[in-house]
Amino acid sequence: MGASDSGQKRSYIFAFLILPLLIISNITGSFAASYVINPTNTNISFGIERFKRSTTTGGFYNVKGNLQYDPSSQTGDISLVIPISSLSTGSKAFNHTLTGPNFFDVQRFPLARFDSTKWYFNQNKSFPKILKVDGNLTLHGETHPISLTATKFDCYLHPAFKKDVCNGNFTATVDRTKWNIDKYAWFGVTKNLNLEIQIEAIKQ
């Protein structure tokens, strides 16, 4: 057998071995369902303590984005786009302060964004449960990692939409000074913000 015959035989063997792996990879990767975030029922709420007084609550609304989710393989991916102009605390004056140049600076940074990097599930393959989602938060021109702790996540057939819908609730704590939002951080205005994230995503 010549060298060319040997090389051709090795190529056949390699193709015979690798082809099933490629097929399996494509099959397993195809189960992830695609969802679009429903901005009507997706928001991020927070509380701000000002100068040792009572806490003022607020939130960001009309959050958009996309979700990829496959409980069978315990994989997920989510991206959220947060319009800073949607901030509401119930006080127009305080809204104006928070969206102004001393804090979120909506004119320079109109959007914030969260992109997941890793999802954590429990070890129960029959009843997978999301525990935590790691990702990057881009805000005020800075990007830093944060972790979202899942308190609830369920997918079901929505009776009104006639489509599968995923609802999730997550919590996170962020130090706003990491994103260079540090006005009054050392003089009584909350430095660490406790976030409550509620999402609803509709299957496409």
- pLDDT tens figures, 5-57: 555 555 544 444 444 444 444 444 447 899 999 999 999 999 887 666 668 89
Predicted local distance difference test score (pLDDT) of residue 49: 78
| pLDDT per position as a tens digit, 169-193 | 999 999 999 999 998 887 778 889 9
Predicted local distance difference test score (pLDDT) of residue 8: 56
pTM of the model: 0.82
Amino acid of residue 126: S
Predicted local distance difference test score (pLDDT) of residue 19: 46
Q: Is 29 helix (H, G, I), strand (E, B) or coil?
A: helix
Angle at 162 between CA 130 and CA 30, to 5 degrees: 50
Query: What would the two tokens of residue 140 be?
Result: 């005020």
Predicted local distance difference test score (pLDDT) of residue 127: 86
Query: What would the two tokens of residue 148 be?
Result: 């979202």
Asked if 193 and 172 touch (Cβ cutoff 8 Å), the reply is no
DSSP 50: B
Asked if 39 and 199 touch (Cβ cutoff 8 Å), the reply is no
Q: Is 158 helix (H, G, I), strand (E, B) or coil?
A: coil
Predicted local distance difference test score (pLDDT) of residue 14: 44
Predicted local distance difference test score (pLDDT) of residue 65: 98
Q: Is 61 helix (H, G, I), strand (E, B) or coil?
A: coil
Q: How confident is the model at residue 114 (pLDDT cuts 50, 70, 90)?
A: very high
What mean pLDDT is predicted for residues 67-95?
96
Asked if 84 and 108 touch (Cβ cutoff 8 Å), the reply is no
Predicted local distance difference test score (pLDDT) of residue 184: 82
| pLDDT per position as a tens digit, 117-171 | 999 999 887 888 999 999 999 999 999 999 999 999 999 999 998 999 999 999 9
Specify which residues 172 forms β-bridges with.
195
Query: What would the two tokens of residue 189 be?
Result: 């205005």
Between CA 6 and CA 89 the distance in angstroms is 74
Residue with tokens 């964004």, as numbered in its chain: 113
List, as one string, the DSSP characters of 83-101: EGGG-B-S-HHHHHHHHST
Query: What would the two tokens of residue 93 be?
Result: 């004056």
Q: Is 32 helix (H, G, I), strand (E, B) or coil?
A: coil
At a CB cut-off of 8 Å and minimum separation 6, what does 192 contact?
A: 173, 174, 175, 176
Predicted local distance difference test score (pLDDT) of residue 15: 45
Q: How confident is the model at residue 203 (pLDDT cuts 50, 70, 90)?
A: very high
Predicted local distance difference test score (pLDDT) of residue 131: 97
Predicted local distance difference test score (pLDDT) of residue 148: 98
Predicted local distance difference test score (pLDDT) of residue 1: 56
